[in-house]
Structure formats: C-alpha cells, structure tokens
Amino acid sequence: MVVPDAYEFVDELPRTSTGKFLKTALREKFAVRDWSGLAAQEYFMFKHHTAEIGDVRLHYVTVGNGPQAICLLHGWPQTWWEWRRVMPALAEHFTVVAPDMRGLGDSSCPAGGYDKRNVANDIWRLMHDTLGHQRFFLAGHDWGGPVAYALAHAHGEAVTRLAILDVVVPFGSADALTWGGKRWHHGFHWVQDLPEALVAGRERMYLSWFYSNLAYNPAAITPEDINEYVRAYSQPGVLRAGFEFYRATPTDIAHNNENKKIPLAMPVLALGGSGGKGRGLQVLENMRELASDVRGGEIAECGHWLPEEQPEAVVREMLAFFCETS
C-alpha cells in the first residue's frame, strides 16, 4: 500500500463534458511542483479553494478560524505563496484569506480588467459576497498595496484596518512608483507585447533577478520558493497578466487622483524595508497623502520582500496593529 506524503483538498476536480476526470489536467496542475522538503509541508498547511467571480476564477487559500478575517494580497512576481511564513501566526488570531489576484498564480487570466479598482472589486466580491465577511482587515504588498487601497477606499465601512507593505500608491504621476526611474522594469513592462516575447521561456532567469536584486537577504527566497513562482508564471497567460498590472498604471493614477480627494478614515499601517532595495519611509510618506490616520516606519535588515525576508517582524507589526483595541 502506498501512503501519500501529503493531501490537497480542492473544491472540484476537472472533468470532461461527459463527466470523466481530466487526468491530464490534474498532472499538469500538480506534477511540475517541487514537493520535496519544507515546500510540500508549507503548501499543504493551507486549504485551497476556487471561486467564480464575474469573468475570473479566483484561487485562494485559507487558514485559521478566528472571529475576525484578514485578507492578504500579494505582489509581482509572486502569488499567495509569499505570505506562507506569516499566515500560521496570524491564523492563531484571525481567519486568514490569501487569494491569487486576477491573472496571477492559479487564478484564471481574463483578457482585461487589470486596473486596481477592478482587481479590488474581485477581492471585495470574494470576501463579502462569497465568504460573507461583512468587516475585515486588509493587507497588501507590492501591487497588492494599490489594490488594497482601492478596496479600502471603495468599501471603507467594511475594511476596518489597512496595512501597506513596501509599495507606493501612484497618484499625480508615476515618478514615485518608478522611484525616479530606478525601478526600470516599470517602463519595460508598460511596452505592449515585447516583454512577453523576451521573457517567455526565460521565466526563471528573469524573475530570479528580482528576487535577488530587490532583497537585503536574497537567501530568504529559496530555490524551492523560486520553483513555485516560476511554475505559476510559466502557465499560459500569467506573464501577460502580470505585465497588464503595470500597463494599467495610467488608469490607476486617474482613479487615485480622484480617490485622494477623500482621505481614508480607517487606521493605516505603512511599512517599508530599510535595506537593499526596500522603499523605506517612502511608504509612510505616501500613505500620509492618502489617509488621515497613518503609522508605521521601516523593517530593519530587509529589502522589498518583507513577508519573506523578515516574517517575524511583519507578524509582530501586524499583530500589534490589527489587534489594537482602540
């Protein structure tokens, strides 16, 4: 008898129109993952689900059953996986939900809809309509930050506290977002079609550059982690969807210029990495332009990848903030 090393619970198995199991689809979904060592243990700690939300099928993971929910939004070039070292500690206090945003990870890849207001609506419909959370906490890293801001602005009655990690929400112009051109990839990703043509087949080389060069501690994102990210971004349509997050920047700026007229009222935590290529105090300064109750600062010895480079510090800051009673 063969005893499996791990199990994964899924909402449904792929089938043909006649009801037969699509074994090929199952193999494609799971066989390319590196299930060795800690990666498998971490992956199967969480429950995996899918939800049909308008034109997109969202993949999301959950852990914990606390009385309050917290939604964690990832960035590029990552997936829900970036939160894996933070989620168990948060799950001791909250019901934790970590989706793959539209087009990314194991969510489906619609042709359009990548402006952050629309992506935020996907998350709102998941949290409120599908999962039934009337009020919840929200955190976003990298592109997850502007999505979280858009959601908080649209549904301030539901988002009770907001955390933004190592990203600036663009308004006025893209200068702050691109760090005056230091974040060269923004301009490259804005170009139509060319990034897809140059990166396809070279996903590992391209994505690994960011994990290494935007980190204070590049070893924090392990080869197993890179395997998972490369698997996700090598799927059909995902590279293009990731670049579309960048190409939506002009629309995002127009939306944020409008939103900025009404500052966020809920408490906001703004954190940036202090070393390497982290944004440092830029995050705090940026959010003070957009919200009336902002606190935060820097995570020491940390680059851009806060939840992976300094998970203990992120957990400590988040618990102090989200568990605050006043």
SS3 244: helix
Whole-number Å distance between alpha carbons of 286 and 277: 17
Return phi, psi of residue 259, to 5°: -65, -35
137, containing H or E segment: strand 136-141
Q: pTM for this structure?
A: 0.88
The domains found in the chain, sorted by start residue, are 23-322 (3.40.50.1820)
Q: Among residues 43, 36, 38, 37, which one has the least CA distance to residue 63?
A: 43
The one-digit pLDDT tens for each residue of the chain (326 residues) are 333 344 454 556 566 656 665 544 544 454 445 544 545 556 668 999 999 999 999 999 999 999 999 999 999 999 999 999 999 999 999 999 999 999 999 999 999 999 999 999 999 999 999 999 999 999 999 999 999 999 999 999 999 999 999 999 999 988 888 877 778 999 999 999 999 999 999 999 999 999 999 999 999 999 999 999 999 999 999 999 999 999 999 999 999 999 999 999 999 999 999 986 899 999 999 999 999 999 999 999 999 999 999 999 999 999 999 998 75
CA gap 63, 319 in Å, rounded: 16
* Residues designated catalytic: 142, 246, 304
DSSP β-ladder status, 68-73 and 268-273:
unpaired
Distance, in Å, from the CA atom of 84 to the CA atom of 98, rounded to the nearest integer, reads 9
**CA distance linking residue 168 with residue 299, whole number of Å:** 16
Tell me the three state secondary structure of residue 305.
coil
CB half-sphere exposure, 193, CA atoms < 13 A: 0
